[in-house]
Structure 1
Amino acid sequence: MNYGFTGDGVDLDACTASIRRGSKSFHIASLLLPRGTRQAAHALYAFCRHSDDLIDDQARRPDALLRLRQRLDRIYEGMPCDHACDRAFERIVSGHSIPKTIPLSLLDGFAMDMVDRRYRSIAEVKQYAARVASTVGLMMSLVMRTGDAWTLARAADLGLAMQLTNIARDVGEDARNGRLYLPLDWLRNAGIEGDAFLRDPRFTPALAGVVKRLLDEADRHYLLGHAGIARLPAGCRHAIRTAALTYQDIGRCIAQNGYDSVSQRARTTLLRKLSLVLRASRPVILCPDRVAMAASAPADPSVARLVAAAADAFALAERQRVATESQGSQIERVTSILMDLHRRRIEDRRVRRLQRWQKVAHLG
């Protein structure tokens, strides 16, 4: 079965080059996907990466976000702009019934970055993570033709976990760029004033406690995400599990560094990544109480609206597919009956001709 992309080879090559340059971890994981799904994933990543780069560019035009929204409008109108990633992404959204609200939410997350917003609580941090990361997880799930609400919620959990890990890893780098994603209430409880930290980013044991708390929250979502991987198509599980374990390992490196993400940056070596690829070939074993907890877990409030939109779009597409196949089956049955009648008429004419010849021969 082909799960995805059948577009122009030049566009696909450009998209593949984008993921190879932008994320070695995701590129390695994507190589484990079935060919069609891998190509669709590259197209999806390329559009998201291109959009993110435009927003992060210090020389960006003031109307960069507006222009991205206009490009997205054209994609959903079936008339993408002359960019390889736009053309490829248009094929993905039309071929996999991705509702527009999901990539729009991704752009909303980029808008939050543009204003250097502060986040008062972990709930607000996760609202941001839902937009910039869970949206990608939801689109990937739809690309893999998996769209029931529970599995979509678990895909969104993986997105939340990975983004929380990103935030934990980049505390110092973000602060030096004037950005702060850690929950302000957690910082206050640890005796850290957000603006003072931004003026002079320094690692302290108190900050380590905040980073650890963030990674603990990420681990809770990783657990839920791993439970959901079992619902994905068998050929896709290894790749998604590889991506999840690779990001979890970043958290492990941060912990080994004493949760110091200010004076050092956690990194995973290529050899370590390859070992995780091997480990990911087998399911992550969860204890029974955690399996039961995951089975009944609702979507996180930060992603509930997006999960519902994705599930509704998938259900509608499935109903349309079944109706089309049913209509096609009915047409095939009618066609078969007509062809059978036609064959019978031909056979009846042949028999009558033969009978006439035999009668003539007998009279002669």
Structure 2
Amino acid sequence: MTATMNFAPSIPVSAAADMDYCREAIRTGSRSFHMASKLLPAKVRDPALALYAFCRIADDAVDEGDDKAHAVLSLRDRLDMVYQGSPRNACADRAFARIIEEFDMPRALPEALLEGLAWDAVGRRYDTFSGIMDYSARVAAAVGAMMCVLMRVRDADALARACDLGLAMQLSNIARDVGEDARAGRIYLPLDWLRDEGIDLEAFLADPKPTPEVCGLVKRLLDEATRLYGRSAAGVSLLPLACRPGIHAARLIYCGIGGAVARNGHDSVSVRAHTGAGQKIGWLGRALLDTGLHLMRPLPATLHAAPAPEVAFLVAAAAQPRGSFRRSSAVLSVLAQLEAKDRALTTARLQGLAFPRG
């Protein structure tokens, strides 16, 4: 059953003001999606901006904050409040709560995002490409599945292709950010790929350099993204006609990130790839043209390809309306690690206050 939101009467709440905040958050924080969203119909665009604002703010708090454990635990509490119908008194939370209620969003989808951000907070590294896909499923493919729900599409094939697009987008982001991540002590390349190329992980993190071996791994990651972008294109035909240009534009814009990395010789260590406003506008126009052309083409066989194993749980969850929910043991385990870390940091701070160093 859908919870009814319970806002305290003493707090003035304006849905329009909340949406204005979400639009601005995405305009400045996620320019690629903000540009692509211009081609979505308003009835989908505003909920999508609210969704992206909530997810982006949560991601930034974990990625950029000094206390990652606390940021994830705060997100856990915010999700609990949203699904109880009593969101925190903040624009993004109220806007997200409204779309949860209106679209009957399965909780397993934002819960997957919570798990992925928790993995970031504990500094998890991934031994295999499948592990990278597991991570990408949570922090990106889950958002693709939620976008389908906002378009009121719960067809399994459409969901699988939306998850393909989310995976591809995340792999593009990882490929673009290899140097930036390394300088922050993070690595999202599969560790077995590094070992196969004779790359010493700790040496690379200490002094990242765009060696031929590292650039080769970036290319390999982008090759996987290209494959997934190709599969995702088939799913656009299952979306409402008015939504197709916007989703196709998002696909082209994010795929363009990989193109920019390739033009830099797959060096994403010493230079960070960028795409300009003019390029994005070009991709918007191409999306409009391609959408019309696709209407005249037969549906490709890849439309019915099985979902990647790492996203099958998202497809199953999104295909059903919201029902009963129990936080998984895997999520509870990583949250328990973060609670212990948060308690230790709090204790250390209190001890520092009680016994200041002279």
Q: TM-score, normalised by structure 1?
A: 0.81
What is the aligned counterpart of 2:285 among 268, 271, 278?
278
What is the aligned counterpart of 2:30 among 12, 20, 23?
23
Q: Where does residue 299 of structure 1 map in the other structure?
A: 307
What is the aligned counterpart of 1:197 among 186, 198, 204?
204
Any unmatched runs of 5+ in structure 1? Answer: 1-6, 317-364
Q: 2: CA distance between counterparts of 1:60 and 1:254?
A: 31
Q: 2: CA distance between counterparts of 1:211 and 1:178?
A: 17
Summarize the alignment of residues 208-227 of structure 1 with structure 2, pairs less than 5 Å apart.
Answer: 208-227=215-234
Q: 1: CA distance between counterparts of 2:323 and 2:238?
A: 16
Name the amino acid aligned to 1:48. Answer: C
Question: Which protein has greater RCO, CA pairs closer than 8 Å, 6+ apart?
Answer: 2
In the alignment, structure 1 residue 73 sits paired with structure 2 residue 80: yes
Once the two structures are TM-superposed, the CA of residue 291 in structure 1 deviates from its matched residue by 2.0
| 1:89-115 CA distance string (max 9 Å, x none) | 111111112111110110111111112
Once the two structures are TM-superposed, the CA of residue 313 in structure 1 deviates from its matched residue by 2.2
Q: 1: CA distance between counterparts of 2:36 and 2:298?
A: 29
How many equivalent pairs are there?
308
Name the amino acid aligned to 1:204. Answer: T
Q: Where does residue 318 of structure 2 map in the other structure?
A: 310
Name the amino acid aligned to 1:78. Answer: G
Once the two structures are TM-superposed, the CA of residue 143 in structure 1 deviates from its matched residue by 0.1
Partners of 1:147 and 1:314 within 8 A in 2: no
In the alignment, structure 1 residue 141 sits paired with structure 2 residue 148: yes
Once the two structures are TM-superposed, the CA of residue 207 in structure 1 deviates from its matched residue by 1.2
Partners of 1:120 and 1:183 within 8 A in 2: yes
Summarize the alignment of residues 207-356 of structure 1 with structure 2, pairs less than 5 Å apart.
Answer: 207-283=214-290, 291-292=300-301, 294-313=302-321
Q: 2: CA distance between counterparts of 1:296 and 1:14?
A: 38
Once the two structures are TM-superposed, the CA of residue 282 in structure 1 deviates from its matched residue by 2.6
Q: 2: CA distance between counterparts of 1:180 and 1:94?
A: 37
Task: Indicate the SS of the match to 2:208.
Answer: coil
Summarize the alignment of residues 120-135 of structure 1 with structure 2, pairs less than 5 Å apart.
Answer: 120-135=127-142
CA 1:73–1:290: 2 relative to 1, 3 Å: same
In the alignment, structure 1 residue 110 sits paired with structure 2 residue 110: no
Task: Indicate the SS of the match to 2:321.
Answer: helix
Task: Indicate the SS of the match to 1:82.
Answer: coil
Any unmatched runs of 5+ in structure 2? Answer: 1-13, 325-358
Once the two structures are TM-superposed, the CA of residue 290 in structure 1 deviates from its matched residue by 9.6
Task: Indicate the SS of the match to 1:16.
Answer: helix
Partners of 1:147 and 1:315 within 8 A in 2: no
| 1:33-84 CA distance string (max 9 Å, x none) | 1111111011101110111122123333743212211111111111111011
Partners of 1:116 and 1:178 within 8 A in 2: no
Q: Where does residue 344 of structure 1 map in the other structure?
A: none
